[in-house]
């Protein structure tokens, strides 16, 4: 039988760059095992230096294909790259997991690249929270860049994007209406916009549209203005690829901007605030349900809501007032 490593041993191996230890620790986070908190406590001091690049966009926009190119660029610079593909099992992505594997497998022999998917199953603690921890595990194994690929479809995904230092939004031609709907959002989410599949019809008008949206947006002095870069990330001949170098340069430029303007401080602050909120929410929920269960009140409350003797808001208020010490 395989010997079960203690959390301490796993962390030690992880810090030495051991890929199997990383895989096991990520599984431990995914399964929300009891050891998770202790492991993350030990890992925490070894994190915080990696650059986190979020890549988001609709299903099939070309996120993974671009990720593949970006990995190559960073590897040319000698940087080690980790990738977390979040939610590949989503019904939106149409079985992209296999596709991602194929697209990213050119790196499978490269020790400087570590790729892991996070399936969205029923995390009690939520996907965002798991993603924070998984990024840290990948950082702690020595990766200098961590790319997080997520589907940009709803609020949750946008949350995940707050995890990143630099956020790349991947759009495609023919998304005019979506862009209209996202007008405000785009500016909030994207540091860089790749208009991918620029080989398809409608690319030019889409670029003009995006530039129009940006030109009427108001930016404060010294603020980063999102860059729009047309890209072709799949082509029959390598010389038909477009925008890959520009994209890599824009990422580097945004990183330099964050450091120079000290905007990175705010990004880091927001990130910790978000994560604390997530942890408070989960842990409080667990605490409250556990406490109520002990008193037998949980069932009582739930049944009173079902029978319309009570409503969820009143119950939450009552529980908070009864069981939580009021702040002065």
Ligand X SMILES: Nc1nc2c(ncn2[C@@H]2O[C@H](COP(=O)(O)OP(=O)(O)OP(=O)(O)O)[C@@H](O)[C@H]2O)c(=O)[nH]1
List interacting residues with ligand X (CB under 6 A): 57, 59-65, 93, 96, 99-100, 103, 151, 196-197, 199-200, 232-234
Nearest distance, CB of residue 92 and Mg ion, angstroms: 11
Q: Which is nearer to ligand X, 45 or 238 (CB)?
A: 238
Nearest distance, CB of residue 200 and ligand X, angstroms: 6
The pair phi, psi for residue 51, each rounded to 5°, is: -90, 130
Nearest distance, CB of residue 83 and ligand X, angstroms: 11
Only segment of 28-36, 91-99, 205-213, 285-293 that touches Mg ion (CB under 5 A):
91-99
Q: Which is nearer to Mg ion, 93 or 166 (CB)?
A: 93
Report residue 192 as tokens. 């860089």
Element housing 198 (H / E):
none
**CB-based contact 315:301 (threshold 8 Å):** yes
Q: Does 64 bind Mg ion (CB under 5 A)?
A: yes
Q: Between β-strands 227-230 and 81-86, what pairing exists: parallel, antiparallel or unpaired? A: unpaired
Nearest distance, CB of residue 133 and Mg ion, angstroms: 21
Nearest distance, CB of residue 41 and Mg ion, angstroms: 32
Q: Which is nearer to ligand X, 11 or 229 (CB)?
A: 229
Nearest distance, CB of residue 178 and Mg ion, angstroms: 18
Q: Which is nearer to Mg ion, 26 or 66 (CB)?
A: 66
Q: Which is nearer to ligand X, 117 or 166 (CB)?
A: 117
Whose structure tokens read 């398809």?
200
Q: Does 56 bind Mg ion (CB under 5 A)?
A: no
Among candidate residues 246, 85, 251, 229, the one with its CA nearest the CA of residue 166:
251
Nearest distance, CB of residue 63 and Mg ion, angstroms: 5
Helix axes 63-76, 244-260, angle to 10 degrees: 70
**CB-based contact 250:244 (threshold 8 Å):** no
Q: Does 196 bind Mg ion (CB under 5 A)?
A: no
Whose structure tokens read 């406490």?
291
Return the residue nearest Mg ion (CB atom): 64
Q: Which is nearer to ligand X, 17 or 202 (CB)?
A: 202
Only segment of 38-46, 99-107, 212-220, 222-230 that touches Mg ion (CB under 5 A):
99-107
Distance, in Å, from the CA atom of 183 to the CA atom of 4, rounded to the nearest integer, reads: 51
Q: Which is nearer to ligand X, 97 or 301 (CB)?
A: 97
Distance, in Å, from the CA atom of 169 to the CA atom of 166, rounded to the nearest integer, reads: 10
End-to-end CA distance of the chain: 55
**CB-based contact 70:106 (threshold 8 Å):** no
Distance, in Å, from the CA atom of 259 to the CA atom of 255, rounded to the nearest integer, reads: 6
Element housing 56 (H / E):
strand 51-57
Return the residue nearest ligand X (CB atom): 96
What residues make contact with Mg ion under the rule CB under 5 A? 63-64, 96, 100
């Amino acid at each position: 039988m395989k010997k079960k490593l203690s959390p301490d041993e796993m962390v030690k191996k992880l810090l030495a760059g051991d890929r199997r230890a990383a895989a096991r620790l990520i599984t431990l986070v995914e399964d929300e095992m009891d050891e998770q908190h202790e492991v993350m406590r030990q890992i925490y001091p070894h994190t915080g230096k990696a650059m986190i690049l979020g890549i988001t966009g609709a299903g099939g926009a070309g996120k993974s294909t671009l990720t593949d190119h970006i990995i190559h660029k960073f590897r040319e610079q000698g940087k080690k790259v980790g990738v977390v593909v979040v939610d590949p099992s989503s019904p939106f992505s149409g079985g992209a997991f296999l596709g991602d594997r194929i697209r990213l497998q050119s790196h499978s022999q490269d020790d400087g690249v570590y790729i892991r998917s996070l399936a969205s199953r029923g995390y009690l603690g939520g996907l965002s929270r798991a993603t924070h921890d998984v990024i840290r595990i990948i950082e702690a194994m020595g990766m200098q860049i961590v790319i997080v690929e997520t589907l940009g479809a709803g609020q949750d995904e946008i949350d995940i994007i707050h995890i990143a230092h630099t956020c790349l939004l991947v759009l495609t031609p023919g998304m005019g209406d979506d862009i209209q709907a996202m007008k405000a959002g785009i500016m909030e989410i994207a540091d860089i916009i790749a208009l991918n599949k620029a080989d398809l019809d409608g690319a030019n008008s889409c670029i003009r549209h995006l530039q129009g949206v940006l030109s009427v947006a108001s930016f404060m002095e010294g603020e980063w203005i999102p860059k729009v870069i047309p890209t072709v990330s799949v082509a029959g001949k390598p010389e038909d690829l477009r925008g890959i170098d520009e994209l890599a340069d824009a990422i580097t430029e945004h990183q330099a901007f964050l450091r120079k303007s000290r905007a990175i401080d705010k990004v880091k602050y927001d990130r910790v605030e978000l994560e604390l909120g997530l942890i408070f929410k989960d842990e409080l929920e667990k605490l409250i349900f556990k406490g109520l269960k002990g008193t037998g009140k949980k069932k009582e409350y739930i049944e009173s809501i079902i029978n319309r003797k009570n409503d969820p808001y009143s119950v939450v208020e009552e529980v908070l007032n009864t069981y939580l010490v009021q702040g002065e």
